Amino acid sequence: VKLKGYLGERLDAMIERHVIGTDVDYITAAYREKTETKGWWQTEFWGKWMHSAVPFVRLTGDAALREKIDESFRQIRAAQLPNGYIGNYTEDRQLARSTWDVWGRKYTLLGLFLYYDLTGDRSAIDCAARMVDHLMGQLQSGGMSLVESGCHRGMASCSILEPLVLLFGRTRDERYRRAAEFVVAEMC
């Protein structure tokens, strides 16, 4: 289906400017810098961009965009700390109230799954598994409720449920099923 007229022109312009035209260095910078202390949400942007870029590449085969997707993944993977964390928050602000840390981790995980589904690159699943292992370790060692983290009484943080289920589906590792069950228990 190809939209024409005003709506088609607007859609084409959006794809050109905001999908193809996205500066991957810019949207991955927060992951490298890890300086966020104000509670902002920059780490949702890469995953959301992947939600647009990957389907467009599948549809069109656009080689230049595919190269950007690959480069963005390399940057995200390189930003992963040895403990598994991929995000923009300083260590003392991770999981804090009134932050979007876990929300951003959710979108990062979703972006990693989109990359894996596009490429079959198993390192994307490995990154995701290390991220989840780190998060669950933080929650267990810190004695913190997931509902107490983030914004909107845990609603934003508990949305991590979707990528946990997706990770379990891709790995069949029982740790990730139990992690999903933990989130459901937290929500209840």
Please tell me the pTM assigned to this model. Answer: 0.93
SS (H, E, C) 42-64: HHHHHHHHHHHHHHHHHHHCCHH
At residue 169, the 3 state secondary structure works out as helix
Q: Tokens at residue 2, please?
A: 């190809």
The pLDDT of residue 129: 98
Give phi and psi for 158, each to the nearest 5: -70, -10
Instruction: Give average pLDDT by consecutive 10-residue segment, the chain, 188 residues.
Output: 90 91 95 86 92 94 96 98 95 85 96 98 98 94 77 84 97 97 89
Q: Tokens at residue 37, please?
A: 């202390």
